[in-house]
Structures are given as C-alpha cells and as structure tokens.
Amino acid sequence: MRVMMDAKALNAFMRDEFPQVAAQFNVERVAPMEADVRLLVDEQHLRPGGTVSGPSMFALADLAMYVVTLAMIGPVALAVTTNCSIDFMRKPEAGRDLIGRARLHKLGKSLAVGDVLITNDGSDALLARASLTYSIPPRR
Amino acid sequence: MRVMMDAKALNAFMRDEFPQVAAQFNVERVAPMEADVRLLVDEQHLRPGGTVSGPSMFALADLAMYVVTLAMIGPVALAVTTNCSIDFMRKPEAGRDLIGRARLHKLGKSLAVGDVLITNDGSDALLARASLTYSIPPRR
Amino acid sequence: MRVMMDAKALNAFMRDEFPQVAAQFNVERVAPMEADVRLLVDEQHLRPGGTVSGPSMFALADLAMYVVTLAMIGPVALAVTTNCSIDFMRKPEAGRDLIGRARLHKLGKSLAVGDVLITNDGSDALLARASLTYSIPPRR
Amino acid sequence: MRVMMDAKALNAFMRDEFPQVAAQFNVERVAPMEADVRLLVDEQHLRPGGTVSGPSMFALADLAMYVVTLAMIGPVALAVTTNCSIDFMRKPEAGRDLIGRARLHKLGKSLAVGDVLITNDGSDALLARASLTYSIPPRR
C-alpha cells in the first residue's frame, strides 16, 4: 500500500487542524502502515516524581494511531477512536521524550485496527502498549 | 465495606498530591465501592467543534477509578493503572462538564478492577465506558 | 426501543443456525437492550478442580452480546464480534451454571457496543466482566 | 532471559495437567519470551461456513500466553488470566489450522503482559490480535 501523506504533510495537517495538540507532538517517520510520533514532554505531561502521566501516554497512542491512519488514507479530520485498550508496563524516565510506534494491522473501509508501542526516546524497554480501533467516515 | 475517605478528604488529598490535576476535577459523591467525579471542562480539553477530546475522557476515567480505589483503601499515592479498555460511543456536547461514575467490581489485595461510565452533566446518554485495573502497592 | 425477538424466538433461531452451540446455552430473559443467557455447564467447560474455563466464559459473553443484539435488530446471522475486552475476577464455583447478563450501551447502524456481567446462577458475585463491540452488516 | 521449558516439556506438561485441552493444541516453537502454538482445527471449533469460531481463537490466544509464561517461569499450573482484549480482524479460512504467536512484553513477579498474533498456518494475514495479562502466583 502506498503512503498518501508523509511526515511533513502530516505535521502541517496537525498544525492546521489541531494547533493545541500539534505543539506537543512531532511525526518523526512514516512508512507503509507504520508511523513514529514523538511526545515532546514538558511540565503539563508530568506527575510528581517526574514520570509522564497515563493520560499523556494515552494521548500519544491515540495520536500515533490517527497519524498512521491519515498517512494511508489521506487527510480525513473526522476519523474517530472507537476503542482503545492500553497496558501500562513500566514507569517512563523523567525528562525524556516518548516515542509512539504505530502499526496498522487492518485498514478496512470503515474501520482501522492497529497497535502502538510506547518507549522512551533512545530505549527499547516497552512502557506501554495500546490497541486501537478507528472509525473512518464514508469518503466523499 | 466501609468508605475510608469521603469526597472532602479526597478533594483535599488530590490538591496536596496532584495540584496540576486537581484543578480540573472535583469529587462529587462517594459511596461504598462507588464515586462520581466531575471534569470541569475548559479550553484545554476541547477539540475543534467544541467536543471534549478522547484523552480528556481517558483522564477522567483514570482519575475516577483512582478516586474510588482511594475511597475504599485510604490515601495510597502509589496505586497505578495497569490496564484500561475504553469505548467511545457518542460525542460530548460542547461546553458541558463531564461526569465519570466509577464502580469497583473487585477490590483485592494487589488488584482493583472497576468500570467508569462517562456522561455529560445532567444527561443519561453514555459518551464512553471504561474498564480499568489498578495495581495496589503492598501496605506498609 | 422495541424488542424484535423474544427469548423463545432467539432460542429457536440459535438451534437452527448454530446447533452445535445452542445445546450449551439457553436464553433466559429478554428486555429492551438487555438479555440474560445461561451456560449449561458440563464436562467440556471445566478445568481441573471443577472451575469453568476462561474460554467458556468468553463464549458465554460473546453469545450473550450476540443475543441482545439480535433481540433488538432481528435475525441477522452475520453480525460479528470485532473486539472483546474481558476481566476475570473470581473463580466460578464447581458444578453451577453461569449466567451472562448482557446490556447494550449503543446500537448504531454499523456497530453495537455492550457489556456482559457473568455470575454463577443464584449469586451476585461477579466472576467476569466483558465489553464487546459487534459489527452489524448493512441491512438488505 | 533463559527458557525454562522447551516445546517438548510444555506439550508433556499440558497433556498431564489439561488432557482435555492438550489434544486440541501443539506447542510448535519456543524462544526467549516467545512461543508459537498450533490449534488443530476440527469440527468442534467451526461455525457454519467452516470458519473457526471466536471462542476457539480466544482459547488459542489464552493458551499461547500461558505457554510462553510457563516457558519462562517453569511449570506453575495456577497462573491465571486476569484480562484479555482481543480484536477480530479477518475470517479464518475453512479447514486450516491456526497459529498463535505469543510474545511477552513484561514478565514481573506477579504479572505477565503479552500479545498473541493469530494467523492461518502458512499465511501472514492477521486474523486476530490479543493482549493478555496473567497473574502469577507467589513462588513456593
């Protein structure tokens, strides 16, 4: 399958459509059915002790899945998450960005299903793993 | 089972331990194995069109489960989410607070399992439903 | 919403369409957006020690969700499970039937979302809780 | 990490502890934190049309996760599933065995977390993907 939007196009789309969100994230890499997204960790993502909060990791998983879906189907602002199951396995290190690696397992006409693996930047130890289902609106 | 912390005690605990988070939430009601938590919706929770974002609903589910667990076991800052499965069903209405109603199904020595139902304040229509597992650290 | 198939009609439909499965289950009660289904526990469902196996509880959850969906939309043999998240909380008692209580939270045109609570017959203690999403084929 | 039980030892353990179950499955391959398990598909696993049923795929995911956990910690008959989230993506082909490829993401003292990818034997197309959490009893 062919990639419809590359990292640059995806970052531009995010800035236009979700400016509030886009400042926290950067699309790093896009390949067929795959995308890596960085969470630029700052104060708003932290819990006491300096670890990144669960909701911030959920937000990264959700965005990475959205990004990989857009990469394959093109800009559809209305795709929405219908389900996410997330396992939190290890505490993130303080003061390090997070990387969410999204992989699509199925890209159907109305549903996309994929996984996101979350690690600290530069580490292989899995912090969290999420499975997500996205509902894709009928094409115009 | 007896409630160990009431709504007032829980709100005070949240302000002390998680000041950044506490300003966004209010514990409204506590009963044995149950708690209602309000998300005070403002700009930071919104997506274009005025609906509350998925990560904000996740944050409410996560906090409501934490609150009902604390209500039953007392102040244990270190309880952590190990798994959450969340279904998003309807779009929240613009400009209305959200209520997360948490119910514990099991409160074991090391694991708590519960559900959170999310609605708009004053409505019965279910916006999202989450199941969460919390890991409870060994008591001192 | 009106019930389209009652317990008797559902049991007959199951016997016609899924004879292998129908012998293990009985639809006990149907109400708008709700259904109770019994797993008639026998040897094939047991693990050493006499407890009902996890896959048997999954099968009950899956069937109860299918039954409540059919109850509301009428006989559609092709509805399929797309996702199930199930928490196992307590061991079933030996030699007792299981009851799965299904409740639909959302019945859309293409997706149904619901929960199933599993208990031993005659007990309130929750053994397992499942959330399921069903994909509904386009109506003819 | 070192493998404590190889495929042969695991198949023997299954036959001794779960004879009813063992006849349906075969452990094919074990590596550190990984195991492949075959579901020997027969009549009992089928739905009308010849596809393998959802509960049979759940049973395969559950067993493959159990097998990979035992492979790493040694024979502990009492490890139990606490949560499974499974996405069903494609219909299995009629009359073909299924392979469940389990991978452990975390093996802690009390919890193991992993994924299982299910395909038809000899195919790469993902039929289902499951995430499971196992509770490990305290060692003697």
CA distance A88 to B130: 15
Query: Which residue in B85, B86, B87 has the most chain C C-beta atoms within 10 A of its own C-beta, making it the best mutation to test that interface?
Result: B87
Mean per-residue pLDDT for C32-50?
A: 90
- What's the pLDDT tens digit per position in B66-88? 999 999 999 876 778 999 999 99
CA distance A27 to A64: 8
Bin D74: left if φ > 0, else alpha if -120 < ψ < 50, else beta. left
Res C140 pLDDT > 80: no
Identify the CA nearest to A37 among candidates A9, A65, A4, A16: A65
Catalogue all structural domains in chain D, each as residue range(s) with its CATH number: 7-135 (3.10.129.10)
Does the structure show a pLDDT above 80 at C77? no
* Mean pLDDT of all residues in C109-133: 95
Distance CA B64, CA A132 (A): 22
Percentage of chain B lying above the pLDDT 90 cut: 76
| Residue B33, pLDDT above cutoff 90 | yes
Contact B89 C129 (CB under 8 A): no
Question: What is d(CA B136, CA C9) in angstroms, rounded to the nearest whole number?
Answer: 46
| Neighbouring residues of B140: CB distance < 8 A, sequence distance ≥ 6 | none
Convert C43-70 to b/e letters by CB count within 10 Å (16 or more is b): eebbbeeebbbbbbbbbbbbbbbbbbbb
Phi, psi of A15, rounded to the nearest 5 degrees:
-65, -40
Partner residue facing C89 (CB), from B87, B105, B129: B105
Query: Which residue, chain included where needed, has tokens 């299904």?
Result: C102
Shortest CB distance from B126 goes to which of C105, C126, C133?
C105
A44 touches chain C (CB under 8 A): no
What value does the mean pLDDT take over residues A74-99?
90
Which DSSP state fits B49? T
Cβ atoms within 10 Å, residue A109: 9
- Find which of C62, C80, C86, C131 to mutate to test the D interface (most D CBs within 10 Å of its CB): C86
What residues of chain A, 66 to 125, have a C-beta less than 8 Å from chain C? 82-83, 85, 110-111
**Interhelix angle C54-73/C7-17, nearest 10 degrees:** 120
Alpha-carbon distance of B31 to B34, in angstroms, equals: 5
Least confidently predicted of A73-77, C50-54, C64-68, C97-101: A73-77
Contact at CB, B89 and C113, closer than 8 angstroms:
yes
pLDDT for D139 beyond 70? no
3-state secondary structure of B39: strand
The pLDDT of A64-84, averaged and rounded, is 90
**Res B70: pLDDT:** 95
Residues of D in contact with B114 (CB under 8 A): none
Instruction: Residue count of chain B, please give it.
Output: 140
How far apart (Å, rounded) are the C-alpha atoms in residues D39 and D23? 9
For all residues of chain C together, what is the average pLDDT?
Answer: 92
In chain A, what residues touch C85 (CB-CB under 8 Å)? 85
pLDDT of residue A117 exceeding 60: yes
Chain A residue at shortest CA distance from D119: A105
**Pairwise CB contact (< 8 Å): C115 & B106:** no
The residues that bridge with A119 in the sheet, in sequence order, are A99, A126
Report field, pTM of the whole predicted structure over 0.90: yes
Can you list the alpha helix ranges (DSSP code H) found in D27-120?
A: 54-73
Nearest CB neighbour to C88, from listed D44, D59, D82: D82
Inter-chain CB proximity A115 and D106 less than 8 Å? no
Q: Do B105 and C131 touch (CB under 8 A)?
A: no
ipTM for the predicted complex: 0.94
**Mean pLDDT value across residues C107-133:** 95
CA distances (Å), D137 to each of D77, D81, D102, in order? 9, 11, 20
Residue of A20, A45, A51, A63 to mutate for B, most B C-beta atoms under 10 A: A20
Chain C hits for D53, CB-CB cut-off 8 Å, are: 21, 59
Cross-chain residue pair B87–A88, CB shorter than 8 Å: no
Nearest CA in chain D to B85: D85
Instruction: Tell me if C113 and B87 make a contact (CB, 8 A cut-off).
Output: yes
What beta strand segments (E) does B6-88 contain?
A: 25-31, 34-39, 80-88
Q: In Å, how far are B83, D53, D112 from D67, measured between CA atoms?
A: 22, 21, 12
Alpha carbon of C78 to those of A9, A123, C17, C66, C117: distances in Å? Answer: 39, 45, 11, 10, 24
pLDDT, mean of residues B38-59:
90
pLDDT(D90) > 80 = yes
Provide the token pair at D111: 């919890």
Burial of residue B126, with CB atoms counted within 10 A of its CB: 0-12 exposed, 13-18 middle, 19 or more buried: middle
CB contact under 8 A, D85 and A85: yes
* pLDDT score recorded for residue C36: 98
B126: which chain C residues are within 8 Å (Cβ-Cβ)? 105-106
Neighbours of chain A (3+ CB pairs under 8 A): B, C, D
| Token representation of residue C45 | 């469902």
Chain D touching partners, 3 or more CB pairs below 8 A: A, B, C
- By C-alpha distance, the chain A residue nearest B88 is A82
Whether B85 sits inside 8 A of C85 (CB atoms) is yes
What ranges make up the beta strands (E) of chain D?
25-31, 34-39, 80-88, 98-107, 111-120, 126-135
In this prediction, residue A18 has a pLDDT band, given cuts at 50, 70 and 90, of confident
CB contact under 8 A, B133 and D133: yes
pLDDT tens digits, B109-129: 889 999 999 999 999 999 999
Please state, in angstroms and as integers, the Cα–Cα distance from residue C100 to each residue in B20, D29, D132, following that order: 41, 36, 21
The reported pLDDT for the residue numbered C48 is 75
pLDDT value for D40: 96
Q: Cβ of D105 and A89 within 8 Å?
A: yes
Alpha carbon of B108: minimum distance to chain D alpha carbons (Å): 12
For testing contact with chain C, the best of A80, A81, A83 (most C CBs within 10 A): A83
Q: By mean pLDDT, which of B1-5, C84-88, D34-38, D78-82 is the weakest?
A: D78-82
Strands (E), D9-63: 25-31, 34-39
Written as six digits, the tokens of A7 are 């990292």
Alpha helices in chain A, H assignment, sequence order: 7-17, 19-22, 54-73
Q: Which residues pair with D29 in a beta bridge?
A: D36
**What is the rounded distance in angstroms from the CA atom of residue C130 to the CA atom of residue C100?**
10
In DSSP terms, which residues pair with B31 in a beta bridge? B34
Nearest to A131 among D85, D105, D113 (CB): D85
**Angle formed by the axes of helices C54-73 and D54-73, nearest 10°:** 150
Of B42, B64, B68, B65, the closest CA to residue B53 belongs to B42
What distance in Å separates residue D106's CA from the closest CA in chain A? 7
| C137: exposed, middle or buried (Cβ count in 10 Å: 0-12, 13-18, 19+) | exposed
Given a cut of 70, whether residue D91 has pLDDT beyond it is yes
Among D84, D58, D76, D59, residue whose Cα is nearest residue D136: D76
DSSP B95: T
Q: Using an 8 Å Cβ cutoff, are C100 and C86 in contact?
A: no
Q: What pLDDT is recorded for position B138?
A: 73
Do the Cβ atoms of C83 and D86 come within 8 Å? yes
pLDDT value for B13: 94
pLDDT for B36 equals 98
Chain D residues touching residue B135 (CB < 8 angstroms): 111
Lowest mean pLDDT among D23-37, D47-61, D119-133: D47-61
Chains within contact range of chain C (3+ C-beta pairs < 8 Å):
A, B, D
In chain D, residues with a C-beta closer than 8 Å to the C-beta of A87 are 105, 113, 131, 133
Higher pLDDT, A77 or A109: A109
